[in-house]
Amino acid sequence: MARTLTVGAAQLGPIARDESRASAVRRMIALLDEASLRGCDLVVFPELALTTFFPRWYMEDQADVDAFFERAMPNPDVQPLFDRAREAGIGFYLGYAELTPDDDDGWHRYNTAILVDSAGAIVGKYRKVHLPGHYEHEPDWPFQHLEKRYFETGNLGFPVWQAFGATVGMCICNDRRWPETFRVMGLQGAELVLLGYNTPMHYPRMPAHDSLQNFHNHLVMQAGAYQNGTWVVGVAKAGREEGCDLIGQSCIIAPTGEIVAMCATLEDELVVARCDFDRCREIRRNIFDFALHRQPQHYGLITAPKKGETEKPGGGREQAA
């Protein structure tokens, strides 16, 4: 019998700096209600879906940064989304900024996504591994991208979960540009990879690439889908947010690499596709039969420790205010 799942990509338009979490959650519930009418089993929301994309601003006061973080999940602002999804029997992926004292050595800040099942239970958590941007204030740039300053590198790897009748993985935004992200999940048999993104149209370090942002977005997700024989659902926060243009084109991609559904606006919008997991086998039993064709003895450089590449440790580990 065919294994299928009806999945919704629930793109959000811009969230203003002064928009409350309760308002963002109301918008997500409206998309969830539409998803319910359209027969969805699972809905994917963007990265950092509860607030504006705050790493675009340099903030000296840690309390101002921490105002964008969640100290519990769910919390009273987000509980209505959990409740409505459970009533509708729909699962979801949600990105948010996580502030947690989960280790002995103090507070930690991660760019996080959770997977919630149709009964409202959190069944998976992922913390963003590939943090883009920079640590220091760049006063000459119109916008900052201070993810490296405000977050720590995720510490959970790229696990997959048995959920929704499939093998499901998660990643977040910049992760999608790195083939290792998809391959690590592909090696664990991922059939569905969920991801949210906030991608500025303008990249101050390389303005010549501005016109390529939409192309690169689809290029990396379609390649990740095809090369690993997995469905990919990529969902944007889109539109002009606090004067910064974010790309849209949220989409659902088949294991062949074909886009089967795509948002047409830069606003709150839902697109839906029926994902047939037998289609993963079309790829994995043929051109990308890992057992037959992979040659890992030649891939050692991929996992060798970094040489001569410096990284500042400790972003996101300030004491919580």
Closest approach, Cβ 148 to ligand CDT, in A, equals 10
- Residue 59 near residue 109, CB atoms below 8 Å: no
**Residue listed under structure tokens 């043929």:** 286
What is the nearest approach in angstroms of ligand CDT to the Cβ of residue 294?
27
How far apart, in Å, are the Cα atoms of 194 and each of 44, 57, 103? 7, 27, 27
Bridge partner residues of 111 (DSSP): 97
How far are the Cα atoms of 65, 80, 271 from residue 144, in angstroms, in the given order? 14, 32, 31
Phi–psi pair at 178, nearest 5 degrees: -110, 120
Give me the residue label for tokens 């918008």.
Answer: 27
Q: Which is nearer to ligand CDT, 169 or 196 (CB)?
A: 196
Please identify which of the residues 173, 251, 263, 280 carries the catalytic annotation.
173
Q: Tell me, yes or no, if 47 is annotated catalytic.
A: yes
Q: Is 128 a residue of the active site?
A: yes
Q: What does the binding site for ligand CDT look like in residue numbers (CB under 6 A)?
A: 47, 132-133, 145, 173-174, 177, 197-199, 203
> 251 — phi, psi (to 5°)?
-155, 165
**Least distance to ligand CDT from the beta carbon of 53, Å?**
7
Q: Provide Rg for the chain, Cα atoms.
A: 19
CA 277 – CA 192 distance, rounded (Å): 8
How many Cβ atoms from other residues are within 10 Å of residue 218's Cβ?
17
CA gap 50, 111 in Å, rounded: 12
Does residue 280 have an active-site annotation? Answer: no
Q: Which of 47, 70, 191, 241 is catalytic?
A: 47
List of E strands, 202-319: 231-236, 239-241, 244-246, 251-253, 259-262, 269-276
**Cα–Cα distance, 10 to 233 (Å, whole number):** 10
Closer Cβ to ligand CDT, 11 or 174, answer by number: 174
Q: In the complex, what is the shortest distance from the CB of residue 133 to ligand CDT, in angstroms, rounded to a whole number?
A: 5
Single out the catalytic residue among 128, 171, 241, 280: 128
Q: Which is nearer to ligand CDT, 52 or 198 (CB)?
A: 198
> Would you give the end-to-end CA distance of the chain in angstroms?
54
CB of 173 to ligand CDT, least distance (A): 3
Q: Is 93 or 203 the residue whose CB approaches ligand CDT more closely?
A: 203
Q: Cβ of residue 121: shortest distance to ligand CDT, in angstroms?
A: 27
Q: Which residues are catalytic?
A: 47, 128, 173
